[in-house]
A and B are shown apart, each in its own frame.
Chain A
Amino acid sequence: MDLELMINSFPKLLNATVITLKLLSVSLIIGLFIGLFFAILRLNKNILINRLSYGYSYVFRGTPLLVQIFIIYFGLGQIESLRSTVLWVVLKEPYWCAIIAFALNTGAYTSEILRSAFQTIKPGIIEAGKSLGISNKVIFYKIQIPIAIRQSLPAYGNEIILMMKGTSLASTVTIMDLTGVAKYIISTTFKPIEVFIVAGGIYLFMTFIIHNLIKFLEKKYSFN
């Protein structure tokens, strides 16, 4: 056990953690909006819209995140017409490619979580709103959405942790996130166990924080 290496690599890995957290937070925020959008589409009675939304979540949940990143990073750059547009400014950066892939991926899972939350809302609550003379729009924004968010907290907490682990794939497209730096240190020192303990410890600490934060929110917004 090389303690000196562990101590020396700790600040480097901590620096890389900032990038991991940035990737995570930006893609979660974008993914939440994508998820909400597609969850609302799933509630639509139009079969075509419904199928389209289901197709999106099916494809992104049925394929590995690695494939999604590679399609966006290596694949989209191949389309000539895309290179001359404004989009290319974003797509030539591995950082943004990773975020697009993560956001679309977590958006697919989030849409499923929110959809099932919307569907478990008791019709009586919506009827109560209607009988009080509240408009459909207000019922949706002030009653259905808050209840759905509360319902989906435990599942969404899991999704945040899965996404945090997913950001490690950013290292495959040259981003030096926590896993990227850990791999670099391992391949230069050939001390995988020491580096794994430090980097894994940081990841576990983040999991612990997220887990407790969600528990706290669940308690705060519980119905009784």
Chain B
Amino acid sequence: MELLAFGDTGWGDELFYATLMTIAVSITAMFIGFLFALIFTPLKLSKNKFLNFIANSYTTIIRGVPELLVIYLFFFGGTGAVMFVASIFGYNEYIEINAFITGAFAIGIISGAYSTEVFRGAIQSIDKGQFEAANVLGLNKFGKFFKIILPQTLRLAIPNLSNVWQITLKDTSLISVTGLVEIMRQSYIAAGSTRDPLFFYSFAAVLYLLLTFVSMKLINRLEAKYSRGY
């Protein structure tokens, strides 16, 4: 227990902040993923073959390649890409990108591929009559989407989105390879300096279990809210 003391003697406060970092990265990545889903879901549902192809390539590649490889691409490639863009504007100094941004972006792209599939499935399973009814009611495009389609999509998507959230949360452990101090990285540091890896990695496992448990409870509540009336 001394090992977990707050302050200079233990690792309690460090692990606490690391947990907050994991939560922050997960939420940012999930949000970036939603932005990607917002772009790629319409492309997937579009009748244009070319747009379909682009969206399908995105989801197939991301879901077929290991997360770690994607993270390495962003970790090693991100700096190069930014420096290349900067060099066009005449800036040739070394630029280091924040590990948080690289990590959240890499996990976000992965999370986005899963979210896209979830939203596509949810929209496709909405009864055609709903679209027709919205037309008959004379709603414009915005009203149709926000008042009729989106609420029903959310209800159908939430159970699967909770899976995406779990995947995203667990994937953030991989960002530790880039040096961002989240749960895994902090446990690695603590295990190295105390020579007690068994304790710290087991404690990391408990923290992740706690995060998945609490987020499941919250998501169940959200699910109940969107399912009222069913």
Q: Which residues of A contact B (CB under 8 A)?
A: 58-59, 62-68, 70-71, 74-76, 78-79, 161, 164-169, 171-172, 179, 182-183, 186-187, 190, 192-193, 196, 199-200, 203-204, 207-208
Contact B201 A192 (CB under 8 A): no
Residues of B within 8 Å of A203, CB to CB, are 64-66, 69
Residues of A within 8 Å of B63, CB to CB, are 161, 207
* Contacts of B147-179 to chain A: CB distance below 8 A: 166, 170-171, 173-174, 176-177
Give 19 A-B pairs besides A67-B173, A168-B68, A187-B76 with Cβ atoms closer than 8 angstroms. A58-B209, A62-B209, A64-B184, A65-B170, A66-B184, A67-B184, A67-B208, A71-B202, A71-B205, A74-B198, A76-B198, A167-B66, A168-B67, A179-B72, A182-B69, A192-B80, A200-B61, A203-B64, A207-B64
CB B7 to nearest CB in A, in angstroms, measures: 25
- A62 interface neighbour in B77, B174, B212, Cβ under 8 Å: B212
- B65 interface neighbour in A62, A165, A187, A190, Cβ under 8 Å: A165
* Contacts of B191-230 to chain A: CB distance below 8 A: 191, 195-198, 201-202, 204-205, 208-209, 212-213
- B69 interface neighbour in A63, A64, A196, Cβ under 8 Å: A196
How many Å lie between the Cα of A172 and that of B196 in the bound state? 19
Residues of B within 8 Å of A192, CB to CB, are 72-73, 76-77, 80
- B125 contacts the other chain (Cβ, under 8 Å)? no
CB B172 to nearest CB in A, in angstroms, measures: 8
Nearest A residue to B210 by beta-carbon distance?
A62
- B201 interface neighbour in A70, A183, A200, A207, Cβ under 8 Å: A70
Residues of B within 8 Å of A182, CB to CB, are 69, 72
Which secondary structure dominates where chain B touches chain A?
Answer: helix
Contact B184 A200 (CB under 8 A): no
- A200 interface neighbour in B69, B77, B197, B208, Cβ under 8 Å: B69
Q: Please give the number of chain B residues whose Cβ is less than 8 angstroms from any Cβ of chain A in the complex.
A: 37
CB A185 to nearest CB in B, in angstroms, measures: 10
Given contacts A74-B197, A172-B177, A192-B80, is CB(A165)–CB(B67) below 8 Å?
A: yes
- B60 contacts the other chain (Cβ, under 8 Å)? yes
Contact A75 B202 (CB under 8 A): yes
CB A166 to nearest CB in B, in angstroms, measures: 8
Contact B209 A63 (CB under 8 A): yes
Contact B170 A64 (CB under 8 A): yes
Residues of B within 8 Å of A171, CB to CB, are 68
How many Å lie between the Cα of A64 and that of B184 in the bound state? 10
Report the 10 A-B pairs with minimum CB-CB distance, sorted nearest first.
A168-B66, A75-B198, A64-B173, A207-B64, A192-B77, A74-B197, A192-B76, A64-B170, A165-B66, A62-B212
CB B17 to nearest CB in A, in angstroms, measures: 18
Contact B77 A193 (CB under 8 A): yes
CB A205 to nearest CB in B, in angstroms, measures: 9
Nearest B residue to A202 by beta-carbon distance?
B65
Nearest B residue to A166 by beta-carbon distance?
B66
How many Å lie between the Cα of A203 and that of B66 in the bound state? 8
How many Å lie between the Cα of A138 and that of B88 in the bound state? 73
How many Å lie between the Cα of A161 and that of B73 in the bound state? 20
Interface CB pairs A-B, < 8 A, 28: A63-B170, A63-B205, A64-B184, A66-B173, A66-B176, A67-B205, A70-B184, A71-B198, A74-B198, A75-B202, A78-B195, A161-B64, A165-B65, A165-B66, A165-B67, A169-B68, A171-B68, A172-B177, A179-B68, A186-B72, A190-B76, A192-B73, A196-B69, A199-B69, A203-B66, A204-B60, A204-B64, A204-B65
